[in-house]
Amino acid sequence: MDAKNKRNFILLGHAQSGKTTLAESLLYFTKTTTRKGKIEDGTTVSDYSFDEIEKKNSINLSLLFCDYQGTRIQIIDTPGYADFFGEVISGIRAVDSAVIVVDATSGVQVGTERAWKVIEEAQLPCMVFINKMDKEGADVNKVLADLKSSLSKNCIIIESLEDPLLMEAIAESDDSLLEKYLAVLRLSPDEIKSGLSQAVLKRKLFPVVVGSALTDKGIKEFLEDILQYLPSPLDRIPVNAFNPQKPDEKKDLACKEDAPFSAFVFKNISDPFVGQLTLLRIFSGQLMANTGFYNINKKTKERIGSIYFLRGKEQRQIDLASCGDIIAIAKLKETAVSDSLSQDKEQFLCEPIVFPEAAISASVKPKSREDEEKISDALHKLAAEDHTFGVRHDPQTKELIISGLGDLHLSVMVARMKKRFNVAVELGTPKVSYKETISRQAKVQGKFKRQSGGRGQYGDCWIEVQPLERGKGLEFVDKIFGGAIPRNFIPSVEKGVRQATLEGAVAGYPIEDIRVTLVDGSYHEVDSSDMAFQIAGAMALRKAVMDAGPVLLEPIMDVDIIIPEECLGAISGDINSRRGRVIGMEVKGKQQVVKVQAPLAEMFKYANDLRSITAGRGMYTMRFSHYEEVPHKVAAPIITQYQASKKQEEQ
């Protein structure tokens, strides 16, 4: 099919606005399906996974396609919940336009604003579908006013091509049309249609269609507007790319049928029958089944077998895919998300997908010994499908940590582990990676002497300790003179000291930012040994820390909180209650970015609390900054608990 007869768009909007029902209505109206599925029955085409059917909500993006009046329409249905926003970020990279779905009784909501922001950043042409006009309380005028004030004043309902408001808006989007309109105060129907198409493409106008997906009201008009006003692949804005050999060399990849093959991988999904499916968007050229392509990122050629169009879980095998198509390929060995594909001669990389940072973490423990071996493999397979889901092992706390965009996100992943991999886990709050250090100098002796028949054990050392600047770690200095300790035993003392710093002295956490100077000692010609001096060094270090004013250090995070201005006071108060401090603010569009430093220990549940404070409108990113001393009233119970557990172990 010619690219000029293709349309593809992504469905975006707040949760429960009716995106999946609208997709179902489009498939039914175009006679792609013989009956309309229902979310409550778990029979929709796009919500087909077990967790989507169970929760009655979209969790994954889903590909659909239908034909209408000689045009191939490909649709990406996406979740509305913030916990699954990574699916939106992926899908945006595959389409030429977007449709925002708005509930006629609720108007612009948090998810609507979030969707608008992401298509603004991507510079995608957009239409709006005001849905659920069959519901009591639906008010199209109120919703339209809401759209104009919250999103863009250029959201317009196209009721008639003769509408002088419409003509004026189209004329203002094009200088040549404006000149004619000012001369005769009219535009011809053809000028209006072509002018409106160009205005939509340039994001100067956003057509609004009113209807009900449940009753199919407005669906015919919606389809006709899609064909008339949304761009074909040939009309879309060029794709940003750069030369991998010369990153400063930029290039716009035009979407052409007669150009060499180029494509971009935007998503991996797991299919129970064929294994991993790689989803990609073809920007130019063609790709035939049972051939191959060149992966620019991996610098390798990849052979392919079958090519599929997807309609929910249905896989329609095709022989040839071309410019504008969104396709799936099974069992690729090297290719991953964000890879750019081409023929050998085309060596330009598309910008990689930037996914939202994880907002919440939890520790995971297998419920049984049998699950211990399977847990890591299952988690890494899930992380390969969802790039907003993170898995890491904390070497200090020895915990396996998973991260995601919210509680719902993590609960869905845990359910998938159980259902797909038969691995059951328990979630907990991660331990904080505290550290220990000292606040003053001290000099102590570490002496290990044991005689129990036969050869004994003897090691004796004197060390001085002093605090270092944050981040300096451990510094060991040898100042032994006159052979007080033989040279071959000095590394033994250092080894013992270093081992003791890993185990901690007051609360079981690593000791850092400390200089240990070996100044004196003694030895026994027969009983001294490597092990004896290791033990002496460890004893000395633990004793020195206790004498040198030990303190706990905690990780401090840099947090950027993006909120509406009216939430500023509530956010500042909440941050203060978390022992945090506001260090700066800046305006970003209609929102405020509050720059904060706060202890990690106080931020584990912040994602949920921020949503509550801002009615879902706030978001944040967090990254490690530095370590700071823990206040005594916070440190005391941590130390007391550790000392108590240690005594219990010794008994």
| Structure confidence by residue, pLDDT tens digits, 171-204 | 887 788 888 778 777 778 888 888 889 899 999 9
> For residue 298, what pLDDT band results from cuts at 50, 70 and 90?
very high
Q: Indicate the pLDDT class of residue 459, thresholds 50, 70 and 90.
A: very high
pLDDT more than 90, % of the chain: 67
- Is residue 87 a contact partner of residue 61, using CB atoms and an 8 Å limit? yes
> What is the average per-residue pLDDT within 370-398?
87
Q: Stretch 205-222: mean pLDDT, rounded? A: 96
pLDDT at 471: 85
CA dihedral 151, 152, 153, 154 (to 10 degrees): -140
Residue 263 pLDDT level (bands cut at 50, 70, 90): very high
Least confident stretch, 184-188, 335-339, 553-557: 184-188
Of 97-111, 362-376, 533-547, where does mean pLDDT reach its minimum?
A: 362-376
SS (H, E, C) 37-83: CCCCCCCCCCCCCHHHHHHCCCCCCEEEEEEECCEEEEEEECCCCHH
Torsional sign, CA 379, 381, 386, 387: positive
Region 580-589: mean pLDDT is 88
* pLDDT, mean of residues 40-64: 94
Helix, strand, coil shares of the chain as percentages rounded to 5? 30, 35, 35
Categorize the per-residue pLDDT at 651 as very low, low, confident or very high, splitting at 50, 70 and 90: low
Quote the pLDDT of residue 4. Answer: 95
Report CA torsion sign: 12, 115, 78, 411.
negative
CB of 592 closer than 8 Å to CB of 585: yes
Domains of the chain with bracketed CATH: 3-154+205-229 (3.40.50.300), 248-350 (2.40.30.10), 360-428 (3.30.70.870), 436-548 (3.30.230.10), 553-633 (3.30.70.240)
Residue 565: predicted pLDDT = 86
Q: pLDDT tens for residues 598-617? A: 999 999 888 889 989 998 88
Mean pLDDT is lowest, of 115-129, 251-265, 311-325, 432-446, for 251-265
CA separation for the pair 415, 408 (Å, rounded) = 10
Is 90 exceeded by the pLDDT of residue 571? yes
Of these ranges, 347-351, 430-434, 535-539, 555-559, the one predicted with the greatest mean pLDDT is: 535-539
Query: Please, are residues 130 and 143 in contact by the beta-carbon 8 Å criterion?
Result: yes
Tokens of 139: 């008010």
pLDDT at 169 over 90: no
88 and 78 in contact (C-beta within 8 Å)?
yes
- Would the pLDDT of 166 be above 90? no
Query: Which of these ranges, 18-27, 172-181, 248-257, 405-414, has the smallest mean pLDDT?
Result: 172-181
Instruction: Give me the pLDDT at residue 346, please.
Output: 66
> What is the mean pLDDT of the segment spanning 444-450?
94
Confidence of residue 649 (pLDDT cuts 50, 70, 90): confident
Q: What is the pLDDT of residue 207?
A: 94
Pairing of strands 457-467, 514-522: antiparallel
Chain segment 368-378, per-residue pLDDT in tens: 888 887 898 89
Among 124-133, 584-593, 602-611, the minimum mean pLDDT is found in 584-593
Q: Per-residue pLDDT for 341 more than 70?
A: yes
Highest-confidence segment of 90-99, 174-183, 583-592: 90-99
Q: Over 90: is that where the pLDDT of 135 sits?
A: yes
What mean pLDDT value characterizes the chain?
Answer: 91
